[in-house]
Structure 1
Amino acid sequence: MRKDDEKLMYTDILANPRHMVTKELVKRFENGIGQCYPNTALAGSFVTAEVNEIMDPMNINATWDRGILFNSTVYFRKGSVRLPSDVYHMLIRYIMDRNNYQIGQSGLYINSYQSDPFKACWKNNCHPKGICIDLGPNAYRCECGQGYRDLNPSDPGRRCLPNTGYNECERKEDNECSENARCIDQEHLYKCECLPSFTDASPKDAIAGSVCVLDYCSDVNFCPRNTTCMNEEQQAICQCDPGYVDIRKSEKRTQLFDQDILCLKMRDIDECALGITNCSG
């Protein structure tokens, strides 16, 4: 909204109804509304308009990051209004289509985008750089705007960050790097690198470096022969090499073999001696 050629932005002054700036805007708005309705189908029904308060638009909708919002009550003769939404739509259509965006002759001008208070998107929790899409009387969907990406697709349009020109590494909540990783900002997005002595254990569908675990396998003696060391999130396991069978479940393993023998080739296994058969009795 603007007053003549001056763009109006909300300040704390406008929260004070006694301040001269607030009083002037309230007077202009109320008089302007009174000059609009005589030019609509409600001409004979309009009584008066009263401003309740001037509000910061962002308190209603985070995507409205500029301008001011008039919270007002408009009075009409009893029984003359069929639907409350008609009151709003007739006013906006007159101001935009027939009065060059000016509220009466007040010198106050609205912008071309006016959100409908009778739509679900009027009050939403979309990100300031998000887009609200009406789905019905009481339903809407949020999406991140063009040039922004969604940090939480399971709850879309609430956490949006620019694709370029933003350092995701400055705030932990803006990146998915492990606490054991270093976040490296790049021109487009960022990357995570596991710290020394740690190794990447991120799932296939996750960002590399989002899970970094202690690299037990860096110790070449961690696993015995015929096995391969595999890091997991909280530990490492010694997995039998291809062609070898795990005999760790055998209660007789340490009686027959050295402590570090965990896997044997199939041809070297005596299942009966190891007690790993499925024979009964």
Structure 2
Amino acid sequence: IPECAALLCPENSRCSPSSEDETKLECKCLSNYKGDGQNCEPINPCLQNICHPHAHCTYLGPNQHSCTCQEGYSGDGQVCLPVDPCQTNFGNCPAQSTVCKYDGPGQSHCECKEHYRNFVPGVGCSVTNICESNNPCHRNANCTTIAPGQT
């Protein structure tokens, strides 16, 4: 439109028909910018809570952002699901003597299975010596724990 040349709209705005009177022209901010048409500032999409509640938003420029799931969550930033370490390699708990217990997103701990005790990280639990704690054998017999819970 030739009449737009006289308006000299600044950067990040364009000449458009007036919203109040379509016979008049005015400068309006481009989409992804806000202002009065003479001063147009980029809109930060991160201020509009566009990422998942368990994600961080990073502003990269007008209408540009990145969503990254928080620690303990996995996904694309639009959807973030809690990570259960127990679902991957038993949460690094030795499977023979321990069980993995989920504590929350990205967190777990190991507990000794029945007939095991004294958890050592990376090693596991030792077999409970039934003969020491609750000897089920006759008083004149030798007691030996041969397997967890068995004498």
Q: TM-score range by the shorter chain?
A: 0.3 to 0.5
Name the structure where helix makes up a greater proportion of residues.
Answer: 1
**TM-score for the superposition, normalised by structure 1:** 0.22
**TM-score for the superposition, normalised by structure 2:** 0.33
